[in-house]
Structure 1
Amino acid sequence: MSNLQHNDEAKKNAEFVSSHLKIGMWQKDYTWDAFEYVSEGISDILAHPVQELYDNPDLWKDLIHPADKDSVLQTYDSLQTGDSLDHHYRILRGDGSVRWVFDQTIKALNDDGRTISLFGTLTDITPEVDMRRKLKHLSSYDALTSLPNRQSLYDKLDTFCSRHTAEPFALLHIDLDRLQLINDSLGYITGDKLLQETTRRLLSVLPAEAYLAHVSNNDFIVLMAYASKTDATQAASRIIKTLKEPFQIEEDDLRLHVTASIGISFYPSDGEKKLLLLRNAHNALSYAKELGKNNYQLYEASQEFSSSEKLILEEEMRQAIANEDFKLYYQPLVDASTGAINGAEALLRWYHAERGFVSPGEFVPLAEENHLIHEIGSWVIQTVCQQLRAWMDQGLPMFPVAINVSPIQFMNEELVAFIEEQLNTYNIPAKYLKLEITEGSLLRNEKTVLDKLQRLSNLGIKIAIDDFGTGFSSLMHLKKFSPDIIKIDKGFVQSIGNEQTIDAAITSTVLHLAQELNMTVIAEGVEEHVQLDFLRDHHCEIIQGFLFSKPVPVETFEQMLADGYLKPAPPQA
């Protein structure tokens, strides 16, 4: 084959490849400002025939979005002094739609150093831009209520407390008094509907300029400017009044009654730093609850003491530790496709002789506050290792068991050494132990956290980020800390099928992101078949939730292990 034939063949091959790629390619004569070659990919992206670009080389300028045109053209002017450029901007396609594109351009010089040709590629990056926007929303907003989350609140408080923009404002900490009871008795789906209606009512009675955030399951924070403290107390009265009205959950034919307790602190008189303002508002909230709930209280320094109820519960908790009244229940993790059991989460339960089951939401925060969480957490780790040894001795199928570690316990200097000691004492391979930590744990001393994660990884222990998508969610955490597992918060999962399209979009985005990062995903709170079907369709590997099993005592879980598989509960009629 001659060189001429070889060159023709190479040119045909290059044109074939460029015409079938999803990106667009072009070549332009710099002197005559005319296109010498335009691939079909350009036509697909711009929604204009290739011939139009040959006939009108300036057509692409008319397609640049007006908001981006000046900066794009200025960037192209930089080719006079630079060798290449790459940038992204919006275009108005021939069909009227707006798309984001990534534009790369290089220039070719002759022997005299003069530009003679331009070569470029154009790529449609709209899906990537949309994903970044969704993930940014995920990191800053609560998906259930669409309100700013805790991290957004912290950022706003930093702005409000700035010396350059400091103006007096009130901080109202709102707590729904009976939400946990509703969640426990009627399920989280009903509780979520109640939270959404609560959000609507709060927005309807607050000043238009007020800032409202949803910072935990039953807690809201309001920031509002005030001329006098009466402005804040009147707002609190309106909130209590509107929430006192019965909630009608029409889909479930339920009529629910909820009250609210509110604590109020003021900037700068009650604190000039965000954490101090939050703490003082919480102290005022605790005092409101002591006074019978369904009221508001302003912060006063005299409120900084533990309530008698908290003191009693703390003493009872100490007795429970001494008497070994705490028990571990196990909730199976199952393969989404087959129903095969491939792990479990160990969940702490406390049965009180008079109170019955005490909610973890009630005693765990108190245990963290008085640092009993270290003793309780150590008991959980030891008990799980002991149980794993018993299962191995019984010849039962072995799967990893996950343990929740609170942020306070996670920062304990002795944690890693204690875990290693228990693994050695009971001769348990580290692969059978997983630690679940919240994103709040990652916000502490970064160097210490990274060191601890590395030491745990060296032991062979997997790390899962629990409740991913709430509170402090951030892609930076995935980059810095590289967890092995992401657990999608039940707040997203349980809204699938309830016309919460944003929750479904966020869930699918997290699944796609985890797959790209080679991370395992566990979806928690799965209660309905529509949720299971959605997760299967989007390649979620592991399912956890009442659809397969509630947390069960160890004896029941051992039978499950022996069987090896779980079937989802039948669809409700």
Structure 2
Amino acid sequence: MSSMSRRSIFIQRVTQLLEKYRGEGTVYLFSVDFAEFKLINYIYGFAQGDELLQDVVDFVQGLPECIYCERAASDQFIFLVTTKTPWSDDEIIAFYNEWSEAFLRKYRDDYPACKLKFWCGIYQLENGDVVSAIENANLARIKARQIKATTAVLFKNSLMEDLVRERQRERDIMCAVKEGKFFFYLQPQVDLQSGEIIGAEALARGIGENGEVLSPDSFVSILENNHGIVDLDLLILELVCQNMRQRLDCGKPVVRTSVNLSRQHIWNNNAAKILDGIVKKYQIPHELIMFELTESILITEFSSAKLLGDNLRELGYATSIDDFGSGYAGIDVWRRLSFDELKLDKKFMDDDPERKKRDEIIARGLIWIANKMDTTVICEGVESAEQCRDLRDMNCRYAQGYFFSKPVPPDEFYENYTNLKG
């Protein structure tokens, strides 16, 4: 059954129930989905994922207050709860917390590799407008996901006002990409044995309304949700190549620069050719550009990510796996994927005594494997001389982080590079 047909049937059924319970109590509409359902499918398989979805329906339908439950789409559920007297906000939240924790407690041990968690939005139905009720509950659920709420979010009119402001900000960010109102900073990558700067990572920055520098936290998620992140990646690559071409034409030094690629590139079979076309446009030697794919892409879309990586390497570019250790890709990456560089996630630089010893054992093992496979390892997030010493003791030769330099404009980066003679 199509999602449209399912939605129509649901609206019809809910409308009938509202007529039945009209005047007999208060009805609340819950919109719920899992936080990381793609990860559940990836690790445990689609069959077990479908079984978990059915478990949710069975569990919710067993609640005395529930009068109807429907799987709306994918891992999203919509269900109705009725009470003889209206609940306060605290009572609604308490009801959600009780049933959700009971479900998660029952099934959590069956999925130890994942952190089972719901996002939930709730709307009190005040009339027969079921379509608006669903939209309002969904809006509250989306808000719960955005703020990573630890409990359900109740719909308030202020959410609609927030949505209007967010949509305006999204439009502003999308226009800024089209108008090229972005630039890049460079952060050095350093050889821990010689102290030499051996490369840099290009990091996108935006320009705010008042001319202030905007960090990725303020625009990346917006661009990802609106499919504008690919345009930003291509813009940053073009700016990097422009800067390199200008320096090369003036006989100035350049270092190999890593450029980040979002997951949305893997949906385009011509992505590698498009990226290569920009580099060729400026006649930049391929060895001066490295492309970074984040580890999270490998978790849910391994085959497509592998194809993009292989295509780039066939064109003569080095590839890097960014944020390695932040997710669950694990050893399978080594078996199935060819890449040139591994960037250890900054979590391995945790100074907490309880975690440091365990992290060091894991990091040492990863570095040993990488060295055996002739893969370069760079550790991110280095902030102290002690961490540098620890990395050298683990045979990790390269590092990146604020201990050496924060991300800076290209001119400042190369001025430092020249003054330090590399």
Equivalent position amino acid for 2:396 in 1: C
CA contact (8 A) 2:299 2:329 kept: no
Counterparts of 1:356-375 in structure 2, within 5 Å, are: 356-375=212-231
Deviations 1:227-279 (A, max 9, x none): xxxxxxxxxxxxxxxxxxxxxxxxxxxxxxxxxxx6369xxxxxxxxxxxxxx
RCO (CA 8 Å, sep 6+): is it higher in 1 or 2? 2
Q: Residue in 1 aligned with 2:108?
A: 211
Match 1:222 to one of 117, 121, 135: 117
Alignment of 1:143-542 (within 5 A): 151=39, 155=43, 161-163=49-51, 166-168=54-56, 209=106, 211=108, 221-222=116-117, 263=120, 284-288=140-144, 296-297=152-153, 307-354=163-210, 356-443=212-299, 448-495=304-351, 500-542=356-398
3-state DSSP of counterpart to 2:370: helix
Q: Deviations over 1:316-335 (max 9, x none)?
A: 11332244321100000010
Q: Which moved more, 1:442-451 or 1:361-370?
A: 442-451
CA 1:422–1:541: 2 relative to 1, 3 Å: same
Q: Distance in 2 between matches of 1:337 and 1:471?
A: 29
- Describe the superposition over 1:11-65 as per-residue Cα deviations: whole angstroms up to 9, x where unpaired: xxxxxxxxxxxxxxxxxxxxxxxxxxxxxxxxxxxxxxxxxxxxxxxxxxxxxxx
Q: Quote how far apart the aligned CAs of 1:357 are.
A: 3.8
Matched, 1:554 2:410: yes
- Cα distance, 1:290–1:400 mapped onto 2, change above 3 Å: closer
Contact 1:149 1:470 in 2 (8 A): no
Q: Compared with structure 1, are the counterparts of its residues 161 and 437 closer, same or farther at alpha carbon in structure 2 (3 Å cutoff)?
A: closer
* Structure 2: stretches of 5+ with no match in the other structure: 1-35, 61-74, 77-96, 123-135
| Identical-residue share of aligned pairs (%) | 26
After superposition, the CA RMSD in angstroms is 4.0
Q: Displacement of 1:445 after TM fit?
A: 5.6
Q: Label 1:477 to 1:535 Cα distance change in 2 as closer, same or farther (>3 A).
A: same
Contact 1:381 1:403 in 2 (8 A): yes
Displacement of 1:162 in angstroms is 4.0
| Separation in 2, partners of 1:340, 1:446 | 34
Q: Secondary structure at the match of 2:399?
A: strand
- Give the count of matched residue pairs: 330
TM superposition shift of 1:449? 3.8
- Higher-Rg member (1/2): 1
- The correspondence of residues 105-124 of structure 1 with structure 2, limited to 5 A, is none
Partner SS state of residue 117, structure 2: strand
Matches of 1:290 and 1:449, distance apart in 2: 26
- For residues 316 and 371 of structure 1, the distance between their equivalents in structure 2, rounded to whole angstroms, comes to 14
Change (3 A) 1:308 1:524: same
In structure 2, distance between residues paired with 1:155 and 1:502: 24
Identify the residue that residue 66 of structure 2 maps to in structure 1: none
Query: In 2, are the aligned partners of 1:382 and 1:422 still within 8 Å (CA)?
Result: yes
Q: Give the AA of the match of 2:391.
A: L
- Asked if the contact 1:409/1:415 (under 8 Å) is kept, the reply is yes
Return the alpha-carbon distance in structure 1 between the equivalents of residues 244 and 326 of structure 2: 31
SS at match of 1:440: helix
Distance across 2 between alignment mates of 1:446 and 1:475: 13
Q: Is the 8 A contact 2:185 2:407 kept in 1?
A: yes
AA at the equivalent of 1:365: S
CA contact (8 A) 2:266 2:304 kept: no
Give the letter for the 2:229 counterpart.
I
CA distance in 2: counterparts of 1:450 and 1:519, whole angstroms: 16
Counterpart CA distance in 2 for 1:215 and 1:371 is 30
Aligned partner letter, 2:246: A
Task: Give unpaired runs (5+ residues) of structure 1.
Answer: 1-147, 173-201, 224-261, 266-279, 567-573
Q: Is the 8 A contact 1:526 1:545 kept in 2?
A: yes
* 1:555 Cα offset (Å): 1.5
Alignment partners' CA distance in 1, 2:300 and 2:231: 21
Q: Is the 1:496–1:504 contact (alpha carbons within 8 Å) kept by the matching residues of 2?
A: no
Do the aligned partners of residues 297 and 350 (structure 1) sit closer, same or farther apart at CA in structure 2, a change above 3 Å counting?
same
Q: 1:433 to 1:335 in 2, by over 3 A?
A: same
Q: Is the 8 A contact 2:39 2:300 kept in 1?
A: no
Question: Aligned AA for 2:152?
Answer: Y
Q: Distance in 2 between matches of 1:553 and 1:165?
A: 49
CA distance in 2, matches of 1:565, 1:525: 24
Letter in 1 for 2:411: E
1:295 CA displacement:
6.5
* TM-score, normalised via structure 1 length: 0.50
Q: CA offsets per residue over residues 186-214 of structure 1, 9 Å max, x none?
A: xxxxxxxxxxxxxxxx9xx9665463999
Does the CA-based 8 Å contact 2:40-2:49 persist in structure 1? no
Distance change (3 Å), C-alpha of 1:538 and 1:417: same
Q: Read off the aligned partner of 2:358 and give its amino acid letter.
A: I
How big is the shift at 1:424?
2.0
Give 1:228's aligned residue.
none
Normalised by the length of structure 2, the TM-score is 0.67
Q: Report the alpha carbon displacement of residue 365 of structure 1 after superposing the two structures with TM.
A: 1.7
Distance in 1 between residues matched to 2:319 and 2:259, nearest whole Å: 10
Deviation track 1:366-417 (CA, whole Å, cap 9, x = no partner) reads 1112111122111111111111112222333332100010000243233222
Q: Report SS of the residue matched to 1:404.
A: strand
Residues 504 and 460 of structure 1, relative CA distance in 2, 3 Å threshold: same
User: Cα deviations across residues 49-88 of structure 1 (Å, max 9, x unaligned)?
Assistant: xxxxxxxxxxxxxxxxxxxxxxxxxxxxxxxxxxxxxxxx
